[in-house]
Chains A and B, each alone.
Chain A
Amino acid sequence: MLDNRLIGLVLALAGVIVAPLLLPVANATELLIFALVAASANLLIGWSGLYSFGQAALFGIGGYAGGYLLANTDLALLLPVVFGGLVAAVFAVAMGAMCVRRVGIYFIMLTFAFNQLVYYIAYSWRDVTGGEDGLFGIERPGALLPGLPEIDLNVPINFYILVAVIVGLCFLALLRVVDSPLGQILLAAKDNPRRAGSVGYDIHAAQTLAFAISGFFSGIAGVLYGMVYWIMPIDAVHWLTSGYIVFMVLVGGTSSMFGPLIGATIFILLQDFFSTLWARWPLLFGAVIIAVVMFLRGGVIELVSHVRGFAARRRAMRGEAGNA
């Protein structure tokens, strides 16, 4: 298990290094940010079995809260980033506490409703969010914390490195969360909520906490996203974005925290790639999604275990042949 994770981390790091060489730096930056959102969504989807269609609301609240500070104050960069995460976490607690009391389709509908609630607030609260036209004027402050030397973050690669470090730390924290007793309780509750509850765990409290943690990291991602293009667009909080995030998680695979990283990468790159081929590209894209769902139930990460299993079987067969 530890081996697998080490390999995963090394590959992820390699991906982070290679991405800005292959892609426009801004797009590579956006990729990292969505990887973080997808990973934090997987704490709910993969670990808790909670198919939340409200992740964009958390992402957006963080983006607007942090973005508002970045656009209207001269605070050092990490303060708005953490602030955005905290505001999203607080909202996530309120949202989670209500939603986890329902299961299945009712849970999904509730998270969906929360998402649209946030969307319409953002749409109408023009003074703060910019409404339909988005929150603009977001700057990338040079100082990370008061007193530290300044970096010019308007140089794309500098900003990319900063985002990579923040996303990396958040991802490690998420790995730590799923290893913790909380992660075990969430898994237990996902498999059999009654049994987990009867053992004495407060399932709703654990799931609400998962919402808070997921919200915190999604909120941070939201603030970073606002800085990529100096704007927080309204459609970032639309439920469609929530749907995309769920897709990223499913395409990548929910069984490992690395799945969503792969999923987000594939999802965004394929969209961009197909859209240059043909005006009716969503047809091609849909076909790929269907293929993944049909043939790779566990997401692309399942492919890895298939390949490894195949290799192991061949080794075993060769071993037997050698013995005979």
Chain B
Amino acid sequence: MTSPLVSRRRVLQGGASLGLAGLAAPAIVGRASAADELVMGTITPHTGTYGYAGKQVIEGAKLAIDMHGGEILGKPIRHVTRDSEGKPAVGVRRLSEALSEGVTVFNGNYSSAVGLAQSEIAAKRKVLQYSAGGSEDFTGSRCSRYTFHWSANTYTAVKAMMDYVQKQMPNAKRWYTITADYVFGQGLLKYAEVIGKEMGIEFVGNDFHPLGERQYTQYITKAIASEPDVLCLLNGGSDAVTTLRQFHNYGAEGIQIVTPWGLEADQMPELAPEMREGIIIGQNYYYDIDTPANRKFVEAYREAYGAPPAYAGAYGYDSFRTVLMAMERAGTTDVAEAIRTLEGMEYDSILGPTTIDTATHQTVRPYFILEGVDPAKMEHDSDFARVVYTGSDKQPAELNECEDIGSL
């Protein structure tokens, strides 16, 4: 609990004693600090829809610093947090404010739009960004030498999902897709079609729906009428939850529901137990993952915050852990050296064996397929789903749009 409190107290003292000038105290304090410390920033939503996630990112990030002993190569690590409000315009302002406090490494964008806006600043100001989010542009059309991406590529997600379904149900060849009509959904559909072609899957129909749609019955009726083996939801968040609820009301038998990126495990309680049973969901992270690094992380996280970590907490932790690991290997906290070390680095993340792709800065890591647990067989309150498969196929180079990652 040391670092944010210290800076907060400084701000308070500044504000109390200097009045309006105190508003600028962080800037003054920031300039006084030299390069004899490492300042890591977490710019994340504290308010708004994703406020809950922002809190978890900070918790995870703090834990990564604490578990590293609060220092690196003999230098203390200071943690600076700022509220991005989940808005790009605010995210860039708070980031530039944090940079004046000496931040050289940051994470915490939860929304892709915020992270992509921040990546422009990271490149110009030469600081290291570890981003997360569903957009493949981070390591595609808008790739940058200063930005690394923690979340799996959507190709990896769709591939893992389809591999598992083909393995379990080799005869499930008729697929119907319901897709959110924006870049993210369209990207998932593109990959589903590319991969499905190799597997001999027939896509019997697709419906695009606008983001935030309330009524899915017209799509569901069409989907059921075309008698698919698999109904694949290529949307996310509350859209996926609503689709699942409305689909369940139809009582359609024999259609397997899958969603490669649609549902976070911590959203599962939003569904009734019978709706969860047997559905197949893809996850960037699940606390159940059986790796030594993850067991250690989950234990520490539970102890510190009283609940198992979810995607956001894991992102905050693992991204900083990776950067600190690279700095140790490089023997310096210099950003350019850390980036060179990260490029091509092979290591054990909390997710399992992981490499970082030099050409795109994508973190190539396992992606997890979970199956909803039969309510009668749940072993504890949060035993909603269990990992049944992991896949880590990298996005094929010919599908990647990163032309030039730039120079340092």
Find out whether the CB atom of A23 lies under 8 angstroms from the CB atom of B142. Answer: no
Contacts of A229 in B (CB 8 A): 92-93, 96, 117, 120-121
Roughly how many angstroms separate A131 CA and B211 CA in the complex, as a whole number?
A: 14
Enumerate chain B residues within 8 angstroms of A241, measured Cβ to Cβ: 89
Residue A182, interface by CB 8 Å: no
B33 is an interface residue with CB less than 8 A from chain A: no
Question: At the interface, is chain A mostly helix, strand, loop or mixed?
Answer: helix
**B350 interface residue, CB < 8 Å from A?**
no
List B contacts of A137 (CB < 8 A): 120
User: Complex formed: what's the CA distance from A298 to B83 in Å?
Assistant: 31
- We find that the number of chain B residues with CB closer than 8 angstroms to chain A is 43
When the two chains form their complex, are residues B120 and A24 in contact, meaning their CB atoms are under 8 A apart?
A: no
Q: Write out, one digit per residue, whether chain B residues 86-105 have a CB within 8 A of any chain A CB (1) or not (0).
A: 01111011101101100000
Does chain B have a CB within 8 A of A27? yes
Once A133-B113, A272-B93 are accepted as A-B contacts, the answer to whether A230 and B183 lie under 8 Å apart by CB is no
Contact A233 B117 (CB under 8 A): yes
Chain A residue with Cβ nearest B111: A132
Complex CA–CA separation, A272 to B90 (angstroms): 9
Kindly report which residue of chain B lies nearest to residue A269, judged by CB atoms: B23
Determine if B46 is an interface residue (Cβ-Cβ < 8 Å).
yes
**Contact among B51, B89, B96, B112 for A27, CB-based, below 8 A:** B96
Is B24 a contact of A23 with CB atoms below 8 Å? Answer: yes
Q: Which of A22, A154, A235, A270 contacts B28 (CB 8 A)?
A: A22
Contacts known (A26-B96, A234-B113); A279 close to B121, Cβ less than 8 A? no
A133 touches B135 (CB 8 A): yes
- Is there a chain B Cβ closer than 8 Å to A136's Cβ? yes
Docked pose: A77 CA to B15 CA in angstroms: 38
Choose among B26, B51, B92, B120 the residue that contacts A279 (Cβ–Cβ < 8 A).
B51
B222 beta carbon closer than 8 Å to chain A: no
Chain A 266-279 interface mask (CB, 8 Å, partner B; 1/0):
00011011011101
Q: How far is the CB of B192 from chain A (nearest CB, A)?
A: 21
Q: Does A231 lie at the interface of the complex (its beta carbon under 8 Å from any beta carbon of B)?
A: yes
Please report which residues of chain B, range 176-205, place their CB below 8 angstroms from some CB of chain A when the two chains form the complex: 182-183
Q: How many residues of A contact B (CB 8 A)?
A: 33
CB of A240, distance to nearest CB on chain B (Å):
8
User: Is the pair A27, B82 in contact by a Cβ cutoff of 8 Å?
Assistant: no
| B100 partner residues in chain A, CB cutoff 8 A | 23-24, 27
Whether A277 contacts B117 in the complex (CB less than 8 A), given A134-B88, A233-B92, comes out as no
- A234 to B117 alpha-carbon distance, docked (Å): 10
CB within 8 Å for A277 and B8 given contacts A22-B24, A133-B135, A233-B89: yes
Residues of A near B120 (CB, < 8 A) are: 136-137, 229-231
Instruction: Give the residues from 6 to 33 in chain B that come closer than 8 angstroms, CB to CB, to chain A.
Output: 7-8, 11-12, 15, 20-24, 26-28
Given contacts A22-B24, A154-B124, A272-B94, contact A234 B88 (CB under 8 A): yes
Interface of B is mostly: helix
A22 to B25, CA, bound (A): 8
Question: Which A residues lie within 8 Å of B161 (CB)?
Answer: none
Q: Which of B49-66 contact A (CB under 8 A)?
A: 51, 55
Given contacts A133-B116, A236-B89, A282-B47, contact A273 B23 (CB under 8 A): yes
What separation, in Å, do the CA atoms of A135 and B142 have in the docked complex?
11
A281 is an interface residue with CB less than 8 A from chain B: yes
A133-B83 contact, Cβ under 8 Å, with A229-B120, A233-B88: no
Chain B residues numbered 263-320 whose CB sits less than 8 Å from any CB in chain A: none
User: Known contacts A229-B117, A241-B89; can you find 19 more A-B pairs with CB under 8 A?
Assistant: A22-B24, A23-B27, A24-B99, A126-B183, A132-B183, A133-B112, A133-B142, A133-B183, A134-B88, A134-B117, A230-B124, A231-B92, A231-B120, A235-B87, A235-B88, A275-B82, A276-B11, A277-B11, A279-B46
Closest 4 CB pairs of A and B: A233-B88, A22-B24, A24-B100, A26-B96
Interfacial residues, chain A to chain B (CB-CB below 8 A): 22-24, 26-27, 30, 126, 131-134, 136-137, 154, 229-231, 233-236, 241, 269-270, 272-273, 275-277, 279-282
25 sample A-B contacts, Cβ–Cβ < 8 Å, listed by A number: A22-B21, A23-B27, A24-B99, A126-B183, A133-B112, A133-B137, A134-B116, A134-B117, A154-B124, A229-B92, A229-B93, A229-B96, A230-B121, A233-B87, A233-B92, A233-B113, A233-B117, A235-B88, A235-B90, A269-B23, A273-B23, A275-B82, A276-B82, A279-B46, A279-B55
